Structure 1
Amino acid sequence: MGKGNQSTVMEFLLLGLSSQPEQQQLLFVSFLCMYLVSALGNLLIILAIITDSHLHVPMYFFLSSLSFVDFCFTSTTVPKILVNHITGHKTIPFGGCLTQMYFFIVFVDMDNFLLAVMAYDRFVAICHPLHYATKMTPPLCALLTVVSWTIASLNGLLHTLLMTQLTFCDKNVIPHFFCDMAPLMKLSCTDPSLNEMVIFIEGGLIMFIPFVCIMASYIHIASAVLKIPSVKGKWKAFSTCGSHLAVVALFYGTIIAVYFSPSSTHSVKKDTAATVMYTVVTPMLNPFIYSLRNQDMKRALKKMIGRKKPR
């Protein structure tokens, strides 16, 4: 590493969510259950979409991509929490901490971009149904996905490289359950102003632009749906979009609370609770939100599960 990364700290200590033994047992069981449910739910969504040819359309291509990202998202942080509890060791190497932070940023950004792409897909399907097949072509879907992965990877690399320029002298206790940017910057014995500025400006744009696109898409969708004469047609359109909006509200609400609210409103408990919501709870709920109110997904899941039952 370069001169900017000369550090006496070789590892960090992750305090986790609680120091109380009885609470730690409960949290371990809770996180294990949530991780298993999240992994199973997201993998089932992916398998159902792959095995059902009727779901080989842009909407479900993006949904399977979101499920894959959510599975990777939870796998970035939760397994480390579980291993720490089992082994009793709460340390993480300096390099491992930066690696975890990098993948965390990449998957957060991918969730962000995919929610925007899915909103655009619904906009085209509802507002321009006759041109849907010509607008949402396979090459465009592939391009949107590749561009999203590229931007997310570069953004993660940028923040990771900036973090390596900070010096960590003696403080190595992170009052969190994973290596997030804000707790790490607080431990630095050099000025993290540049990192903070990049988070608010560049990171803010990466979150704000897709959010604006989502809102613009749904304003047009709402306008188009209100013009549908059939009550059944309106309900079907709002039902499909309602699932997506619920996920959007959960995701952006918690991220804004953690990263873009005034520092005076922050506390370790509030930030940790909000972080658990978008790193663990939201990825766990997404498969239920998207499948329980979607008849095509229900049919595909029943077909796939029924196929595995012994005759």
Structure 2
Amino acid sequence: MMERLRRWLPIFVIAPSIVASFVYVFVFAGWTFYISLSDSTLLPSYNFRGFDNYASLWANRRWGVAYTNLFYFSAFYVTCAMAFGLLLAVLIDQKIRGESFWRTIFLYPLAVSFIVTGTVWQWLYNPSSGIQFMVNSLGWTDFKFALTTDRNYAIWAIIITGIWNSAGFSMALFLAGLRSVDQDIIKAAQIDGASWFRTYRKVILPTITPIFLAVAVVLLQFAIKTFDLAVALTNSGPGISTTFPATYVYDFMFQRGEIGQGAAAAMMILAALAVVLIPYSLYLVWRRRREAGHG
């Protein structure tokens, strides 16, 4: 009896979380998909409408701006956050003095929520009280740094802030990968006369290639779900210039009462996440099977 209880106890412990996850992910996603096919407006309706909401969605200029912003933001945010994170990780990996202090400083933005980060940077971008005001008060009256008030550059304010927030996260993962590299390989490269730069480029960085993929996937998830940072920094403005898919969903579902089209936009976000997560999951399965085969 005790042996049977011991065998079933782990299942009983994790079963509630598995059921909750199934309902939260699959049941609600299915319900949202059905709502996206209905004529729901202020309240959910179950009158089938087909794919009219999706057609209206892609015909909407604001949705086009939102998806364009998502591509721009994802490309620069992911690339630059990884580049800065890798640079910081390589520098800290040199066993510098005060390593714990610098790690804490660079990881600090990760501990701050996007809404707080956006609010603070919104003050910095504000031309009447931020960086521009400070520099102008020092005598450089021609200096301009008002990204959030210019529709052509407001998206860059969100990109820069996002990079600042996530570079420390990338650094932490890259540093863990660098510290996991077999030191014998590094010593062998140094004995062969490889320079510091060549050792990293030819030996160390190729070894941690899976870390690059993992960091890219996580950052892409952050990018696709961007909401609070855009709201805190620009509130989707000026005009609609910094609209993102997530802010579009919020606006149509909770501000305009267009639940059907908001649900269609939410399904497009889910599709974008699936494009990122499904190939990565398949890659992980393939990699584990290959390692087990070589085992």
TM-score with structure 1 setting the length? 0.29
Q: Which protein is bigger by CA-based radius of gyration? A: 2
TM-score with structure 2 setting the length? 0.30
